[in-house]
Structure 1
């Protein structure tokens, strides 16, 4: 049943902001492993003798599962609730990080880094942010998406220097145990404060005026995820979005996120210095993503994506000439610009998915995000092969720049129906039909 709600006297903070805050902290806690592979690859190679290709393969499995889990996690959140799915995901991340300290063979690292952490982080992927923003916010949705997306960047900022320091001083196992401990520490906060939807508390979404209890989804979550994919696959814009976001993943998580530190190390830069630069990417990533969310509420998403991919391509094109043994202004400029652009693509991409596919937009975005991670996994493995084959990362950076040009063109080709975000505030979502009304509509 739908009912109208009014502001509660003396209540200044809508609980949507509490949920968003808890979601932000959870995303920060889950981001520990996202900061780990880069600084841990060199110590693992030195201690266990595994090649860059072998280590990159384990990371690639993680990135593939990180992406492919996302649409099913979105369906599971509809079926079992956000709180349950997120709690289980954090436990999986903690288990994978802790058990990785016992790895003695490459397949064991693939099991822990790849399978366990891949499933856990995939369930905590950007579909979690999209679910919170879409359920709890009518107004400020783009801004909230930007803030929650920045949670991963904040996690990178917090953990990357610590992981790099621990890897060089006390060993990579200490860094892995830190990641496990932080993920577990967030679980009680999620259980106590996170709620699945505003109607659970008798509230309308922030900016809305009606309380709309949504009945829990029934049936098989996997079937719901696959059904959403089948529906979206008939739209060319879905494939354009998926391909462009795949390139986004290739040129961030897969290429720079995994291989920037080893590449800088090849040029004589200390690992801690390179990790510090990557952490600076996280600093400006936060600012860039929040700003992108604000802009997404005002500017057509296609134009934003065009600009983001173009700037990223230029950065990758000049990177081979910027890396050296010491810090200099040009590499700092690259880090700042790349940081502002890192995941600024997320708010406009999520907005396009919702505009095109309505209530199933979150699950569809899960599939678009799966393409993001497939691109990241491919780039992570390909860059490792390039490094082992040619002795440097030069062609990996040039290839990434070329891909960004393709993504810019695909972004312009994406067409979303409806008014631009700048045409006015969104209306309340329409109430779901009652069971009786649905029965009358059924042939």
Structure 2
């Protein structure tokens, strides 16, 4: 009897030790978080450079906005192909290469003398590089390494972009104001390069690479074979998803999300505030504060997505965002007043809180292809952002004020809230790709 008891105790003794160990998935998520922060550095810069480039080279707001537009569009259009390439060549190789491309594009801008060079470096190179590490990258990591806590992890990784903005905006705005825009561009290039060693040494493509099951899985999941024909697969998935109504509703709502955040506020808030007499450093600091509350709001949204209906969450988020944008033109002033601080906190909590429920709906509707589908949905996000980044500059050139674009974006957010509510639920799981994730 004693021998049997001792054997049972010996068999169960290692279990508490293993349960106390931190799963490798959390380390992979941490590296992914740092990587997205490095990529976010360049995305902190466009709004700070509109006035300096206009003053130094005489380029119109529309021309500079066109470069931002190309960057934002490529950020989205590259994402689905990058997700497919990660299936073929691995996450680590694609992300390390993308960071290098961002560093090259940002570094080359210091020698530009013509507008086409801005379009090439700022628009093409950095757009391609950052698009390869877009939120589809976060979705790929989440799908491979986690079977539980996916909403929370998606929220944390989405917040990384805001954290990068928080870290770099005050520093970059000080550089632009005190020195020149060129040191800021060099800083971004160095930040992207600094992340490459972490990616290469610490990031792994799949839990099976280190002999583990995904976090929350009850059994080991073998690493799938590399998927060939990455571009063909990305396009094929798009055509299949495009035959379904939920895809167009998700793409439409996310296009409005991009238009009202990256395209509008991130690109044009600083020059709009400067038009009202606010110092550039003060306006940039407000954007950084948005980044603080964005982290809180996005992580909280991930937690909510694990527990509540994502369609209703999206409707609430878009409705609140639209209301806040309608009030913004009345709040802009030479100094920072309490109503503006309230807007910054309110808007920050909502900035990309839409991502976790959107990812959850893609996973519900499209199963194992959800990362690629989300890449195409993200492409619509960036097309919307690109359109408003360009139109915002044109509106400013024509009317001398940004007011019209704030009101139009508020109305679009109201439409997005209604669209989110009519996304149908998947009730019968189909077989094969584009299936409901279990």
Pick the TM interval, shorter chain. over 0.9
The aligned residue for residue 307 of structure 1 is: 316
The alpha-carbon deviation at position 225 of structure 1 amounts to 0.2
From 273, 279, 282, give the equivalent of 2:288: 279
The aligned residue for residue 330 of structure 1 is: 339
Residues in 2 aligned to 1:239 and 1:260: alpha-carbon distance in whole angstroms: 29
46-55 or 355-364, which deviates more:
46-55
Q: TM-score, normalised by structure 2?
A: 0.93
The aligned residue for residue 192 of structure 1 is: 201
212-221 or 131-140, which deviates more:
212-221
For structure 2, which runs of at least 5 residues remain unmatched after alignment? 1-13, 429-435
From 183, 186, 189, give the equivalent of 1:174: 183
The aligned residue for residue 361 of structure 1 is: 370
Residues in 2 aligned to 1:238 and 1:95: alpha-carbon distance in whole angstroms: 35
Q: TM-score, normalised by structure 1?
A: 0.92
Native 8 Å contact 2:363 2:437 kept in 1? no
> Residue 7 and residue 234 in structure 1: after superposition, are their counterparts in 2 closer, same or farther (change >3 A)?
farther
Residues in 2 aligned to 1:249 and 1:99: alpha-carbon distance in whole angstroms: 27
The aligned residue for residue 425 of structure 1 is: none
For structure 1, which runs of at least 5 residues remain unmatched after alignment? 1-5, 420-427, 431-443
Residues in 1 aligned to 2:255 and 2:333: alpha-carbon distance in whole angstroms: 29
Native 8 Å contact 2:366 2:437 kept in 1? no
Instruction: Indicate whether 1:162 and 2:157 are aligned.
Output: no
The alpha-carbon deviation at position 418 of structure 1 amounts to 4.7
Aligned residues: 417
The aligned residue for residue 122 of structure 1 is: 131
The aligned residue for residue 21 of structure 1 is: 30
RMSD: 1.4
The aligned residue for residue 64 of structure 1 is: 73
Native 8 Å contact 1:80 1:216 kept in 2? no
Query: Where in structure 1 do 4 or more consecutive aligned residues deviate above 6 Å?
Result: none
The aligned residue for residue 236 of structure 1 is: 245
The alpha-carbon deviation at position 219 of structure 1 amounts to 2.3
From 214, 222, 232, give the equivalent of 1:223: 232
The alpha-carbon deviation at position 145 of structure 1 amounts to 0.3
SS state of the match for residue 261, structure 2?
helix
From 66, 72, 83, give the equivalent of 2:92: 83
Residues in 1 aligned to 2:369 and 2:156: alpha-carbon distance in whole angstroms: 22
The aligned residue for residue 261 of structure 1 is: 270
The alpha-carbon deviation at position 7 of structure 1 amounts to 6.0
Residues in 2 aligned to 1:242 and 1:75: alpha-carbon distance in whole angstroms: 19
Residues in 2 aligned to 1:7 and 1:26: alpha-carbon distance in whole angstroms: 33
Residues in 2 aligned to 1:213 and 1:34: alpha-carbon distance in whole angstroms: 37
SS state of the match for residue 32, structure 2?
helix
The aligned residue for residue 255 of structure 2 is: 246
Instruction: Indicate whether 1:404 and 2:413 are aligned.
Output: yes
